Amino acid sequence: MKPSELADTFTKVVESLKHIVIVVAQIDPDALASAFVLKEIISKISAKSTMTVVDIVFGGHIGNAQNRTIINLFDLSRAMIPSTEYDFSKCEAVALVDSSKMKDGRVTLPTNLSPVIVIDHHRDSDLPTGGGQFYWIDEVGSCSTMLVELWLALGFEIEKLNEALLVMLALGVFTDTQALIQAGERDFQVYQSISKRIEPRQLQKFLSPALNRDYFDQLQIALQNRVQKNGSLVTGLGTIDHDDGDNVALIADLLIRESTVSTVIVWAIVDNVIRIAARNDDVSEPLEDFLREKFGPDSGAKLTSHGLGIGGARLELNSAPWMTKALKYGDSQKKLEDFIGQLVQDLVFND
């Protein structure tokens, strides 16, 4: 789309809205930046007419130390609602950023709500096309790139983005393009225009965030418990605290880097739920399909622009049909964990 076309279509869609919810299927720096810049854009446009209410909801988990650092430092948590706690009936429209799938295991959207705004750089959309909407799916390195392009197309200046948004956008482009290695012309242009307006040291604390002691203890357990068959690696952390929940994803991020591993499944029991983090760098097997087949509908994944599948699943311990069987073993937590470890291995290793 040409900038003028982008601006016109977008403005038309926004002007008619009273209450929209921006849905982030899975939090990462790119998705966070995109959601908060989109909110800013909608608020700026609607201020002239309707004063649209804009909510941001998210699916999945915060994910890792980097996401948590961004959320804490910029105090974003009050402005983001977990999708499971959000009352979708009060809004009339949905916007999707950094994802273009309606059927995503991590966020269940009411069927009567179809997205009116979709901005994404992934190629796995399942959206129907229709009139009166703003669907923009483009092959660039990051969704943040597109949000900055939209910002400029609407006639706003880069200087008008506040510092938090600038830092978030820079991180969005930087992380989604693998430190700019996968960046295209448009990503570079956007990165340059925003990064010269922020302190380089500002980015540093996000790029190598502090890791807590529990992370290393759990990493040790993960390394001890790992079982590998061909390229698939499965490991479990046992039962961990709610506050350590993100370590499941963090450890999966590390293990996928091993050269003989192409799929990683890390599980842990967190708050009576089996939380599963999955990573896959073998593009021939879509991670989403794999997770759905193995762990059911409460799974989801996305493919990053550099070919890494990132996803997860959750299995409620209380409602699982096999739980009665598990409980026979489960007079001790250790036995339950052993059972789950075996179950996850069976699911992953057997067809």
Q: Which residues bind Mn ion (CB under 5 A)?
A: 30, 98, 143, 176
* CB contact at 8 A, 140 and 187: yes
d(CA 146, CA 153): 10
CB-nearer residue toward Mn ion: 175 or 262: 175
CB-nearer residue toward Mn ion: 34 or 46: 34
d(CA 127, CA 102): 7
CB of 147 to Mn ion, least distance (A): 11
CB-nearer residue toward Mn ion: 98 or 246: 98
CB of 237 to Mn ion, least distance (A): 27
d(CA 266, CA 250): 10
Q: Which residue is closest to Mn ion by CB? A: 30
Cα-based distances in Å from 115 to 47, 125, 150, 252, 278:
21, 12, 18, 32, 27
CB-nearer residue toward Mn ion: 17 or 70: 70
d(CA 80, CA 119): 19
CB of 98 to Mn ion, least distance (A): 4
CB of 25 to Mn ion, least distance (A): 11
CB of 226 to Mn ion, least distance (A): 29
CB-nearer residue toward Mn ion: 76 or 336: 76
Q: How far is CA 192 from the centre of its chain?
A: 25
Q: Characterize the bridge pairing of strands 227-229 and 93-97.
A: unpaired
